[in-house]
Amino acid sequence: MGNHLAGMPMDGWMYAGMALILVGVPAAIFGALPKHRVRHGADAGTMFEAPDATPFGGWHGAVLFVLTLGLIIDTMKPATLGFVLPGMRHEYGIPAASAALLPFVALLGTTVGSFVWGWLADIYGRRVSILLSTILFVSTSICGAMPSFGWNLLMCFLMGCSAGGMLPVVYTLLAEVMPPRHRSWVLVLVGGTGLVGGYLAASGAAHLFEPEFGWRSLWLQGFPTGLLLLALARWIPESPRFLLEQGREAELAQMARRFGIVRREPVLQRPNAAPAAQHHGQLTAALVITALSWSFVTFGLLLWLPSDLQERGYSAGLASGVIASSALIALPTIMLAALLYSRWSSKWTLIGTILLTLFGLAGALLPPVMLASPPLLIAVIAMLVVGSNGMIAVLLPYAAENYALGVRGRATGLIAASSKFGGVAVQGFALIGLIPTLGGAALALLLPMAASAGLVGIVGRETRGRSLRDLEATA
């Protein structure tokens, strides 16, 4: 039938298979959760940590490889949205307005999933959260066989929930198992490479499989790739603090040998230091505003940029070239951000990327006569693209390093969710026909972006090369 399933009746086997998924996913969750909850306060000190002199060994490399692969696999599914929409619209015969519901519910799912899985990681452990999000990811690949658009919307929301949970938990786990002197570059490089790799893998899969097997193949590939990640789960460790509080002494000793982790006494907080809760509240506000500003720039301004350029009279080739240039400079930007973050300053690298994006927004407000000059227009676009790519490369690693163990997962998840919320809002605006011009969007985002730079400058702190013990004890 040319891979067209729209309108086909669902037989008994189809319903039975879906029922097995509804039984199997909760059963897997029940089996994976620890026998008792880990209980620790938000100010729990990091008692187990690798000394700064610990070399980067084979087990560190294995964790790096598996979690980077996990992020690539996880990012692939949301990244395929743009590739499946044309074929889906044609098969279901739906208008563009209805098709826009798909990215809306997907981004809504990632927003919800980022916080939910981060919370789960704080309660039940980092490794459990990663594995359960992978199981949900595998189960939602069935959306490639759904005969109606409504079923696709439901599965796409659940897929977004699973995909949104991987990123903050990966940052949280890596921050707790990597030696302090390697932690900074690892966090930036893994997250950035995983995101860019996911988009490249999605475009490669669309090129290889969609012409022959149709858009549904891009959903179905979540099944084998998710199983591959589960097969590699033995190389995903648990946070040492969770192993200790669950009484898993043998696993903790084995992990200590593999990762060079030793037990260290908590650093006592200085008597004149500000309360950690007060500091974290201020820092959370600063990072949430930063994440929201980034999300509106990325999912709004940059998404509308090609259309706005064509309305200004530029050719479709130049407009589409903006997207291509964005992909080309994303990876070099992440490499540079990792270098500056680990060798220069974590705090000022983040502020620098915010300021670069801010200059791009200011440039977009220049008079149309000035922006008609191609060199100036390209410079403005380059600042926006480089600045926004750099921001997201360092924002979540910076968040993961700044919070205490008891709240690190949910705090990083909250900031990750904020970085998705702009996409939900932008898609909601598009559904009701509110699409601003480039200048209008830049003007609206100028103040929050400037505020985020100022707030991070005031309440942010330097994390480069510092142990998590010290960061948790000093506010």
pLDDT tens readout for residues 140-169: 888 888 888 888 888 888 888 887 778 888
Who wins on pLDDT, 20 or 74?
Answer: 20
Q: Note the pLDDT tens digit of each residue in 292-310.
A: 999 888 877 766 666 666 6
Cross-strand bridge partners of residue 82: none
**pLDDT tens digits, one per residue of 2-11:** 778 887 888 8
Cβ atoms of 36 and 161 within 8 Å: the answer is no
Q: Which of 134-138, 164-168, 235-239 is predicted least confidently?
A: 164-168
Give the pLDDT band (50/70/90) at residue 36.
Answer: low
- Backbone torsion region of residue 125, taken as left when φ is above 0, otherwise alpha when ψ lies between -120 and 50, otherwise beta: left
pLDDT given at position 352 = 94
Average pLDDT over residues 272-297: 79
Query: What span, in angstroms and rounded, lies between the C-alpha atoms of 259 and 396?
Result: 23
CA dihedral 419, 423, 425, 429 (to 10 degrees): 160
Is pLDDT at 433 greater than 90 in this prediction?
Answer: no
State pLDDT tens for residues 54-111: 888 889 999 999 999 888 887 787 778 778 888 888 888 888 778 778 888 888 888 8
Long-range contacts of 435-442, Cβ-Cβ distance < 8 Å, separation of 24 or more: 435/304, 435/307, 436/304, 437/308, 438/301, 438/304, 438/305, 438/308, 438/364, 439/364, 439/365, 441/296, 441/300, 441/301, 441/304, 441/364, 442/301, 442/361, 442/362, 442/364, 442/365
pLDDT in tens, 241-275: 788 777 788 888 898 888 888 876 655 555 555 55
Contact between residue 421 and residue 401 where contact means Cβ atoms under 8 Å apart: no
Return the H-helix or E-strand segment holding 263: strand 262-263
pLDDT at 2: 72
User: Which are the contacts of 142, defined by CB distance < 8 A and separation ≥ 6?
Assistant: 17, 18, 21, 155
Asked whether the beta carbons of 176 and 468 are under 8 A apart, the reply is: yes
pLDDT of residue 442: 80
Question: Is a pLDDT exceeding 60 seen at residue 367?
Answer: yes
Which domains occur in the chain, in start order? 48-263 (1.20.1250.20), 276-473 (1.20.1250.20)
pLDDT band for 450, please (50, 70, 90 cuts): very high
Distance in angstroms (rounded) separating the CA atoms of residues 132 and 169: 12
Band of residue 43 on the pLDDT scale cut at 50, 70, 90: very low
How far is the C-alpha of 189 from the C-alpha of 195, rounded, in Å? 10
Residue 154, pLDDT score: 86
* Share of residues in the chain with pLDDT > 90 (%): 14
